[in-house]
Structure 1
Amino acid sequence: MRRTLLALFVSASLLSACIVEAPGGASPNERRQATVTQVPALSLRSGANFEDKVELVGATVQPGRLSPGEGARVTAYFKVLKPLEEDYLIFVHVEDAEGRAERLNVDHKPAGGLYPTTQWKPGETVKDEFNIALPPGSSARALNIWMGFWEQKTDARLQLKNPDAVRNDGRSRVLLAQVPVAQP
């Protein structure tokens, strides 16, 4: 039952995060939707540098505290430093901070699938939004949200260049946020 509920929430999260990529790449309108000219005030700052190609500027998580059965909207901002030769997925691992529950994977194409990484231009800031959900009855006291870039065909990750400057797990997964969970 617990695995079924977990799978249901993962599926719901993925449905809201994964949109089929626009054929032929991003139109000028889609590019405008996927990028920002100014990053809003962020509750979470990062500075994670992935191979001198992309910097994770930071993110917001709304709401900033969850209860079992609730979801949150995560918005991350990426500064493009150099062109990317591969279309990377953004991998997201949502884990019980105490390691007592299975990981939720919310891997997805950036910017709702509208703007693949091979089309990102240096100097742009790309906005990426996705949802996470906490299963009902969860006993987690906090959730860790880990993220990075993953190329599906080769199973390769963009490597973190500044591991001493950001919280990470040594495998190019950056700790984006720890979200507290209210207990009933």
Structure 2
Amino acid sequence: MRLPPSCVLLPSLLLLGSACIVEAPGGASDKERRAVTVTQVPPLSVKNGANLGGKVELVGATVEPGRLSPGDQAKVALYFKVLQPMDDDYLVFVHVEDADGRAERINVDHKPAGGLLPTSQWKPGETVKDEFSVYVPPGSTARALNIWLGLWEPRTDTRLRILNPKAVRNDGKDRVYLGQVPVAR
């Protein structure tokens, strides 16, 4: 059997026929190009599942946009499912680190839910949305930023422990690895 040069005979398809790569003459049309290109990187959506102290589960997060340039900021939204009541008011601690370790850590610690709903008022069954921004300083040479986070009680300087450390990425110091955001050069 003779095949055109753009066709490949795959051994697993020997009994079924052949597979061909078909390319439109002249490449993609403008309409086809618009259908497969974007003007802005969509949000980075991350599922997580970290169980923090048996009190809350970090269900997931979004980072928008999903890629930054020096001088830009991204909006991060965390989603905490409340499992048990909390007596203390925890802060969300956020550590933004250069993926290559060349720059100082940026701390974005804050009261959850914009300070409107302290953790002592969270009710089991609720999912609390927490939003904050991550900033890339102008002139930054970072190729990517790693985002680490957790819940921290400042009076006693204690973090809620990750009860399922083998199920989620973490650093062994009760910091949950949320993900990595690429930085354009």
In which range does the TM-score fall when normalised by the shorter chain?
A: 0.7 to 0.9
CA distance in 2, matches of 1:54, 1:88: 11
Is the alpha carbon distance of 1:126 and 1:133 closer, same or farther for their aligned partners in structure 2, counting shifts above 3 Å? same
What's the CA shift for 1:51? 1.3
Alignment of 1:11-26 (within 5 A): none
Q: Which residue number in structure 2 is paired with residue 45 of structure 1?
A: 47
Structure number with higher helix proportion: 1
Hey, what does 1:156 align to over in structure 2? 158
Distance in 2 of aligned mates of 1:51 and 1:107: 19
Q: 1:70 to 1:46 in 2, by over 3 A?
A: same
1:147–1:176 CA contact under 8 A, matched in 2:
yes
Q: 1:106 aligns with which of 101, 105, 108?
A: 108
RMSD of the TM alignment (CA)? 1.1
The 5 Å alignment of 1:22-41 reads none
Q: Once the two structures are aligned, what percentage of the paired residues are identical?
A: 71
Distance 2:145 2:78 in 1: 17
Report the equivalent of 2:24: none
Q: Distance in 2 between matches of 1:145 and 1:42?
A: 12
Partner Cα separation in structure 1 for residue 162 and residue 87 of structure 2: 17
AA aligned to 1:100 is R
Q: What does residue 68 of structure 1 align with?
A: 70
Matched residue, 2:130? 128
1:88 maps to which of 87, 90, 105 = 90
**TM-score (structure 1 length as normaliser):** 0.76
User: C-alpha separation between the residues in 1 aligned to 2:105 and 2:44?
Assistant: 26
- Ranges in structure 2 where 5+ consecutive residues have no aligned partner: 1-42
User: Helix, strand or coil for the counterpart of 1:43?
Assistant: strand
Question: 8 Å contact 1:42–1:58 — kept in the other structure?
Answer: no
Aligned residue among 145, 170, 184 for 1:182? 184
- By how many angstroms is 1:89 displaced? 0.2
Per-residue displacement from partner, 1:23-43 (whole Å, max 9, x unpaired)?
xxxxxxxxxxxxxxxxxx981
Tell me which of the two structures has the higher relative contact order, counting C-alpha pairs closer than 8 angstroms and 6 or more residues apart. Answer: 1
Q: Look up the match of 1:119.
A: 121
**Superposed structure 1 runs of 4+ greater than 2 Å apart:** none
Gaps of 5+ in 1: 1-40
User: Is this contact kept in 2: 1:88–1:109, CA < 8 A?
Assistant: yes
Distance in 1 of aligned mates of 2:179 and 2:130 = 15
Indicate conservation of the 8 Å contact 1:86/1:118, yes or no. Answer: yes
SS at match of 1:118: helix
1:110 touches 1:116 (CA, 8 Å); kept in 2? yes
How many Å separate the matches in 1 of 2:107 and 2:77?
16
Cα shift readout 1:68-89 (whole Å, capped 9, x = no counterpart): 1100000000000000110000
Which SS does the other structure have where 2:114 is aligned? helix
